[in-house]
Structure 1
Amino acid sequence: MAMSESVGWKALLAGYGEPGPDPFPLPAYSEFMPAPRLGRRPYGEPDVDLFAEDDPFGWRISEAEQAWELAPGLAHIAREVYASLLSLGQGREEHLIRGHLGRNLASNPYWPPELAAAAGHLGHERFVALLPLALARTQDDKGRVRWTLFGSSEHGPERAFWRSFTAAAGAGEGDAVAFLSRLLREAYGENAGDATGLAALGFRILPSGPHHPQSEWAEDPPSWAARFSVGDDGPFDDVRYLLTFRPFASLPEDARRRYLAGDLHLLPFPGSLAFWGMPTFLRLAAELPAAMQLPLLRLTRRYRGPGIRIPQSGWLHEPGPEKLVRELHDAYMGETFTRTHRWDRVHRHDDELAVLTRADKVARVLFSTDLAAMGLYDKPMARNAQLWTSDFRRVLDGPQANAEEIAAARDRVLAGGTFGYRFLYPAMRVGGHEVVWHRPLAAFVPPGANTPTVLDDGPLGYLAAAPDEAGGEGVELFPRLLRRLLERAAVTEIRRRNGGAHEAANVLALAAAWRGLGERPLPRSFARRLLKLAKDETVEAWIEALPAHTTDPHAGRRVREELEALLEPASTGADGSRLGSLTYDSTATRTFEEAYWGDIATLAHGRYLTKDNADCVLDPVTRAHEPHDRRDLEELGDYLIGRHRQAIAAAGMAGKALCGELPFAWRTDFPFADFGGWLANHEGKAHERDIVVVIPGRDRRHAVVLADHYDTAYMEDVYDTSKGGSGARLAAHGADDNHSATATLLQAAPLYLELAKQGRLERDVWLVHLTGEEFPADCMGARALCRALMERAMVLRGQDGAVDLSAARVAGLVVMDMIAHNRASSPYVFQIAPGDGPGALRVALAAHLANEAWNALAEQLNATPERRGRGPGTRSADPAVIPPVAEHPRMRGEVRLHFESRSSLYNTDGQIFSDVGVPAALFMEDYDINRQGYHDTHDTMENIDLDYGAAVSAIAIETIARLATVKAGHRAPGTEET
């Protein structure tokens, strides 16, 4: 089917992703965590994994998602839900389903008084559930995109079940009969075998008809169900198993009587449908979108461990000026919340809730901009929350709220009362549509058991894609569970072995890179850098040994064969040295090292002190410790502009190359009046800016970008009073974070100008000094650049007026963050961390080949008199004393894909570029979250390793040179085919 045929997922992406004049909101993730954009990012290429060209209605679910998220996640959700559901059905004390004073079950047609009276007396009940869950992938502050529970399906209790067995879903009568037969066998010990056997066992289906509380929930069973159908008039005497989603109060009297007598099994357990009859949440649903997800969500606790993520929900109470007293039972309350953020000192795939202990009142978390409430890394979270009153009226729909609505909600809460809430991270999006998976949870409780058994191969439901605009057309897609040999073996055969987790991740990384690079064989040296192996282990040795890491030797041999097919033959592996270099003659020199050191020292230890965008913070403690009462970012930016303009003039490129600023205002939904930088923007006294150098190539329609950030972070050891700090917010010197990268741009400019002057640049080179990466600005410069690219508003303000660059498209980007600290435990390792998408992988491959070329040259240069026998570099704490000449290091640039636990992309501007679809890769040292010298008083020259930093700097410069000089029309590593 051609892409032009706009059906299924192709309709969702039709016309999507082209920059244009429409606003492209991109708030700070610390203020509003957005939805992950899947299928195609706004600025990017189509996803190679999610959709298949010949399956316009399919949504592919990877083997890793199935094994590592969905299977354990559904089992966890079942345990959470059944803790309440069993109590209800067995007549024991229960709060979360009943609600305060039983109001959730008052006049609830699914749990009428006659059924409630029988609770605890239904010995034949197996508590079968076919609960339709609302699931979606969401993003968090560590860049993890995981399946998340939103609650019960707002589409009603039965649609997800019936649509699992339709032609569009790729299933039909045979699949339905197989599932129902398994259900009866495992829950009741019956052996049906086939449709005839089901009928012989007394299995029948009673359509719901117009009996649900909301008419749109009515769903006719598929045509295959007709052979089992029974009407309201029965007869029911021979019926033993009745599949119906009809409210118990609306069942035929004979069916109700037989069930209560223990002669009829209702599938599902009628109490499991009570979520859709709660008058409280039905009232709220009239004002708050998807409120019918909440009844089931309220049965679950916050969870961020392995499996399916569950956001926190509950009730909070604020006494207010009138000292109001709450009436709700403790079981309903959730008065505190543990915040997480991207700067947490935890490993990326750790469960933060098992490590972090600080908890704040929910109202404070949602609304407070008090400096003490925010600390160094937190902000109000109201944009990612929904709130309602105790009588179930909307107070706030955070994802859709503006500043005025947030302020009104804050005032409402602080005035006093009891309020329900849930934290809400928006569901995944494809094009202009939000997508939610409505999947039944099939489970039962065996006799004598207290915990549920989940049927893993239960019905799969459907994915509903809803448009933003009212009246827009929605699209239904259907899950396709992938069963590829290599990936399936990785998550099952390999994963099960002791120590097999990272072996499985290695296999998945190779497969993902192969697909992302157009299913072309991978250079073996590149494959080696994708793998997490012992330092001296080769890719060949790893593949050869892999069968020993599987539970099935035959499967292991198949995996080995599959992996070999992903790689270039050993004799043709890419050799970076044979590609030559464009810049190493200038950067692999002592002159470069000395200039690089000097620039870092000037930026970190010169006159620029207040270098956080929020400076100067206006609290008394900070004001007492600040060196002066002005922000130095303006002066620092002017210095950078001056340096670049000097380089342009020295190269004779005045009037051709240019340096200017991309100006913008710092705007937020919350007032941060204690941040002097924010306040100056708000009052129109200052603005923010990215600084951009444009060096022209032949094709002005495309550009490659080398970027840094030039602000610095607040020092944790100065702020933290528990560790002897004063509580002041003072900006760090920032030698490593991030003047090590800013110095690279200063040194790179003359080299690219010379290449342009020689006519060797095929496309433009942009050097971009991004502002505001650190808190509280939070990737502000990267977000501004992405907005300018998407809105076609890339207009620089220069000394000769405005220059419009909006017609240019970024074909590749390298962003550097902390590149000059050599980790003692893994020396001379740095990370090349590509974002998501094929373009980012091509940038990473170009970077890897530049690294290979550097290593080959370093070996040669280390044999010269200048470097021979010098050994590794040493440090100097004195900015005025340059470390002595050392050997050029052999660098190990590890390619860490965006989903890898070792990738630090999430904690940098790189995450923004990746999410928007700009083909970007991060250069960063082997980041140690616990080291001294990160966001503290020791981020000075004492922690700079000159040999290491100069090498990473040189490789970054060479990478961009390669991307910029490849001939138009040739597909080369890191470039788009033009």
Structure 2
Amino acid sequence: MAVGWKRLIPSSSPYLGAGNYRLDAYSEFLPAPLLGWKPYDAWAFPPSEFSEDDPHGWQVSQFEETLELQPGLLHVGKQILHKLERLIDNDTSTGIPKLDLQENPYWPAELAAEPQLPHEKLVTLLPLALSRTQDDKGRTPWTLFGNSEQGPSKAFWKSFYSAPKKEIPVEEGIHFFARLLHAVYGETIENSKELLQAGFRILREPEEELPSWTEPLTIGDRASVAKVKYLLTFRPFGKLPEAIRQAYLTAKLCLLPFPGSLTFWGTKLYQKLCEELPHAQQIPLLLNIVRHRGGNGLRVPQSGFLHEPNAEHPHSHHRGAQVKNTYKRTHRWDKILRDQDELSLIGREHKLTHVLFSTIPDDLELYDKPMARNVQLWFEDGRLLLDGPNASPEQLKKAMKTVQAGGLFGYRFLFPAMQVGKHTVYWHRPLVMYRNAQGEATLLPNAPMGYLTAYDTQKPKLDKAIELWPRISSHPLASVALALHETSKSHKTNVTVLNCRKLEEASRLMKHKPLPRSFAQQLLTRSRGETLDLWLNSLPNEALATEVRMLIEPVPQPLILKKGAKVPASLTYAKSARRSFELDYWKTISSLSEGMFLNKNNADIVLDETTRKMLPYHDRQLEPLSEHLLAYYRKKVSSAGLKDQVLIGDIPFRWRTDFDYSWMGGWLKNDEGAAERDLIVMIPGKDRSRAVIMSDHYDTAYMADKYYKELGGNGARMAACGADDNHSATAAMMLAAPIFLEMSKKGLLGCDIWLIHLTGEEFPADCLGARALVQRLVERSLKIHLPGGKTKDISKVKIQGLYVSDMIAHNNDHEKDVFQISPGVDSISLWLAYQAHMAAEIWNESVPVWNKDPEREGKPRGRRSPHGGAIPEIAPFLQLNGQIRQPLDPKSTLYNTDGQMFSDAGVPGVLFMENYDINRSGYHDTHDTMENIDLDYGSAFCAITIESVARAATERPE
């Protein structure tokens, strides 16, 4: 029988069968991050969270603990101690709300009436409910959910176990109490005997499970407290024996933890709400912590009270300090770098009711959606109004009408906690803090770590949790890198630590084999021209350099050069390193972007009068564009003589949402049937049971400078030409087709190659086609629809990997000749990135030889066309810097593309994208035309993407 974390891993997928894997747009519902097990898990390497030889452990990296969790605990703890200070000052206007203290057994009248507690050091052993969540930038930060729903004491006592019924050594437990008493009260204690002599005792509750070594320290209700100086108890102050209460109030006894720190579990409102919302006990503490994005700390979602005045509720009364009627929206298209704090940079505040429920076009602008699916709402008397993550469209509509009618409503934004299989996982971690002699909030280092609980996601039962214990996993490189971080917080040090983290993660995913030197170099964040050797030599100490070198092969491996050949062997460059290829690439992009296809957004056309007046005609042209693409492939397949072997068709589906968007003509089309479709071309390889996917998206975005008035627009939603975003990728697939067809005909493909044009990546559809494909892959329900109404079931084919290209033909003016290879989180994704890296290496080594050709030798570097559509003159081939940007790399833009959908579900994948410049002209505006296409850069990048796919389809992951 499975034990520990293995109980979380499904024996078979629970998502098999059409309709069993719902995947909403992340702009409409940010789901839980899926850790430890992915729905599409055909090729997964054992995840970082688990270790085969530790069935009851949950691995947490040393980097997470030092860079994220410890700063987060201190940040949250300071706010909590500030509230508790106000509590003992009897200042509820800036502390715990008075309503939360009414009939609260942890803060009875006799305690509230005592204005002076001079001996009180505000010691907290307060268990926080933490988990990892997903945000709109593809990050999965540790997040505060509030105080532990398991009660005030369980996490603390579970800290002294390492597995069910397995106690940690007694010395470790005694040492913690000795350190605590020394730090807070100056006591010097070496062993359990001295702990007893110091007057330390424990008063337990009947239901508490304590380690056996605490027995000599435990007293009963009737015991004398004359010699007790420090009493550890989680019992409500109002239920303590009279002698203990009086000893505390007269400063003869110190209670650990501070009684006021337990008030979060005594609030009547949330005890009532727990009847309908099992985790509502987390809320009282969360309400006292300000919103924080995470990053270098814990993510803290906004919570508070929403006041919509009406005749019955003209004022918010006692909840006034907790009323927060506005919200700063963020989205994946924010012009903010991934490692920046968007909350401090975004100035706009939106009315909360609009944020939650409004579908009015002007409220949504170009990139927003209602957020009600990521919020929980309740009435001020403790009745549940809305459980957003589990709400139906009808429940959303009912909640909207209730809020609009007015009243006072509690809320918390809820981004679901991490899931393993069908279980939701929380870490209950004690916050051990105190007020030092200078009155400062101080975090006790190396405090008890608590434990984790995993609940059935659909039917959580708090008393039926699967229990795990945190393990801070250590690696020599991490230890040395973080020691450097302790001595310096400079930008250079932070980059060095990030590089160490990236190399360590790559090593783990490559099963601890030495990283190829060229690959390791491209993983690094480094200055232009800085090589791996230069970076290694610049490391600040030999200990760090030694640990890094242990991960990397000592000598670079040369590329394969066949006898008599001048350039390394490749699969496709004989076809793509040509002027004719460049010309075809330019002409294809031009015809797609500036030809007859204009309204190419899935919402087209938007039915407001402003937009209608601006458009020359009022039909969505995704349909004729898709027919154009299918006709192109049929022609190429016919020319290759493979009509009977290659399948060409589509994957139709309906665009469905929880809210009504009837002002979008494209959305309305789906009332009549399946109006959306991905396009697919199946090119056969030797092994038909496997496939490598090459994909793009063939829709285009609305133009910001046509919509936003501050940019010169008038509110019209008009689709961009999309030369770079994303016809540069569509053209690459079109040019790849004849190359792959020839390889198929010659028997050179080890497995199938599927060319899949995805629809609806841009807003408001938001990864629509990718989500539809992922659903069918996970459900094993994928079918290709063929001409004549025929279908073919292709659900049994395993996807060996996917390359999705999004914007590949604009060379960044500020950092030229760079592109990103951004893999997903798993080992096969990194293998795919390695294939792409090798494709780029072969290209770059070949370029000097190719450029000796008379038609290129001596030519100046390529330039953009001065006349937009005019073909640029021939120029030397470019060598491109293909940077491997893992998910933890702040410059990875996987999150802002269809690639995120595949990675989250467990489909191995890589994003190809240019060196993304969020502030450039030509992105989501009227300048996304041929004027911003760099032919030398784009055709080289295009060739590398084709070679990468070919390599992945002729080899197999180990």
1:195 to 192, 203, 212: 192
Q: Deviations over 1:727-759 (max 9, x none)?
A: 101000000000000000110111111111111
TM (norm. structure 1) is 0.94
Q: Deviations over 1:444-475 (max 9, x none)?
A: 112451x3111121110001011135388631
Distance 1:865 1:414 in 2: 73
Q: Deviations over 1:398-421 (max 9, x none)?
A: 111111111111111111101110
Task: Tell me the SS of whatever aligns to 2:272.
Answer: helix
Is 1:912 aligned with 2:909?
Answer: no
Is 1:511 aligned with 2:504?
Answer: yes
Distance 1:867 1:832 in 2: 28
Q: Deviations over 1:177-216 (max 9, x none)?
A: 111111111111111221111100110000123xxxxxxx
1:603-642 equivalence runs, <5 A: 603-642=592-631
Q: State the number of aligned residues.
A: 943
2:950 to 961, 964, 967: 961
Distance 2:769 2:583 in 1: 29
Shift of residue 40, structure 1, vs aligned partner: 2.3
1:310-709 equivalence runs, <5 A: 310-320=300-310, 324-449=314-439, 451-470=440-459, 474-494=465-485, 496-497=487-488, 498=490, 499-546=492-539, 548=540, 556-572=541-557, 580-681=569-670, 683-684=671-672, 687-709=675-697
Higher mean Cα deviation, 421-430 or 42-51? Answer: 42-51
Distance 1:249 1:575 in 2: 78
CA contact (8 A) 2:851 2:877 kept: yes
CA contact (8 A) 1:152 1:295 kept: yes
CA contact (8 A) 1:524 1:573 kept: no
Distance 2:568 2:144 in 1: 50
Task: Tell me the SS of whatever aligns to 2:951.
Answer: helix
Distance 2:409 2:515 in 1: 55
Is 1:162 aligned with 2:157?
Answer: yes
Percent identity at matched positions? 47
Q: Give the match for residue 116 of structure 2.
A: 121
1:179-190 equivalence runs, <5 A: 179-190=176-187
Rate the CA distance shift 1:18–1:397 in 2: closer, same or farther, 3 A. Answer: closer
CA contact (8 A) 1:281 1:295 kept: yes
Q: Deviations over 1:624-662 (max 9, x none)?
A: 112211100011111111101111111100011021100
1:234-245 equivalence runs, <5 A: 234-245=223-234
Higher mean Cα deviation, 633-642 or 220-229? Answer: 220-229
Shift of residue 328, structure 1, vs aligned partner: 4.0
Distance 1:321 1:860 in 2: 81
Is 1:148 aligned with 2:136?
Answer: no
CA contact (8 A) 1:320 1:414 kept: no
CA contact (8 A) 2:651 2:677 kept: yes
Q: Deviations over 1:262-304 (max 9, x none)?
A: 1011000111111111111111111123111011001101011
1:278 to 261, 267, 272: 267
Task: Tell me the SS of whatever aligns to 2:113.
Answer: helix
| Equivalent AA in structure 2 for residue 226 of structure 1 | E
Higher mean Cα deviation, 697-706 or 311-320? Answer: 311-320
1:6 to 2, 11, 21: 2
Distance 2:905 2:925 in 1: 31
Q: Deviations over 1:805-848 (max 9, x none)?
A: 11101101110000000012211110001011101000000000
Is 1:90 aligned with 2:80?
Answer: no
| Equivalent AA in structure 2 for residue 326 of structure 1 | S
Shift of residue 37, structure 1, vs aligned partner: 0.7
2:825 to 820, 829, 836: 836
Distance 1:880 1:388 in 2: 58
CA contact (8 A) 1:525 1:574 kept: no
Q: Give the match for residue 49 of structure 2.
A: 50
Query: Unmatched 5+ residue regions in structure 2?
Result: none
CA contact (8 A) 1:524 1:574 kept: no
Shift of residue 96, structure 1, vs aligned partner: 5.2
Distance 1:608 1:600 in 2: 12
Rate the CA distance shift 1:329–1:54 in 2: closer, same or farther, 3 A. Answer: closer
Rate the CA distance shift 1:264–1:527 in 2: closer, same or farther, 3 A. Answer: same
Shift of residue 879, structure 1, vs aligned partner: 5.3
Shift of residue 47, structure 1, vs aligned partner: 4.0
Q: Deviations over 1:131-153 (max 9, x none)?
A: 00000011100001110000000
Q: Give the match for residue 223 of structure 1.
A: 212
Rate the CA distance shift 1:186–1:408 in 2: closer, same or farther, 3 A. Answer: same
Q: Deviations over 1:324-347 (max 9, x none)?
A: 443345311111000000000000
1:26-105 equivalence runs, <5 A: 26-44=23-41, 45-94=44-93, 97-98=96-97, 102-105=98-101
Is 1:887 aligned with 2:876?
Answer: yes
Task: Tell me the SS of whatever aligns to 1:103.
Answer: helix
Shift of residue 127, structure 1, vs aligned partner: 0.9
Distance 1:32 1:924 in 2: 26
Distance 1:408 1:252 in 2: 49
CA contact (8 A) 1:576 1:853 kept: no
CA contact (8 A) 2:84 2:95 kept: no
Higher mean Cα deviation, 482-491 or 349-358? Answer: 482-491
Shift of residue 48, structure 1, vs aligned partner: 3.8
Task: Tell me the SS of whatever aligns to 1:782.
Answer: helix
2:766 to 771, 778, 787: 778
| Equivalent AA in structure 1 for residue 188 of structure 2 | N
1:811 to 791, 794, 800: 800
Root mean square deviation of aligned Cα: 1.7
Distance 2:182 2:548 in 1: 40
1:198-217 equivalence runs, <5 A: 198-209=195-206
Distance 1:913 1:290 in 2: 30
Rate the CA distance shift 1:608–1:59 in 2: closer, same or farther, 3 A. Answer: same
Shift of residue 43, structure 1, vs aligned partner: 1.4
Distance 2:795 2:434 in 1: 59
CA contact (8 A) 1:17 1:40 kept: no
Distance 1:728 1:384 in 2: 29
Q: Deviations over 1:59-92 (max 9, x none)?
A: 1111111111111100000111112111112222
Q: Give the match for residue 172 of structure 2.
A: 175
Q: Deviations over 1:647-704 (max 9, x none)?
A: 11111000110211000000011111111111111x2155100001100111111000
Q: Deviations over 1:42-61 (max 9, x none)?
A: 21314442211101111111
Q: Give the match for residue 214 of structure 1.
A: none
| Equivalent AA in structure 2 for residue 132 of structure 1 | P
Query: Unmatched 5+ residue regions in structure 1?
Result: 210-217, 549-555, 967-974
Shift of residue 175, structure 1, vs aligned partner: 1.8
Q: Give the match for residue 126 of structure 2.
A: 131
| Equivalent AA in structure 1 for residue 471 of structure 2 | R
Task: Tell me the SS of whatever aligns to 2:188.
Answer: coil
Higher mean Cα deviation, 948-957 or 504-513? Answer: 504-513
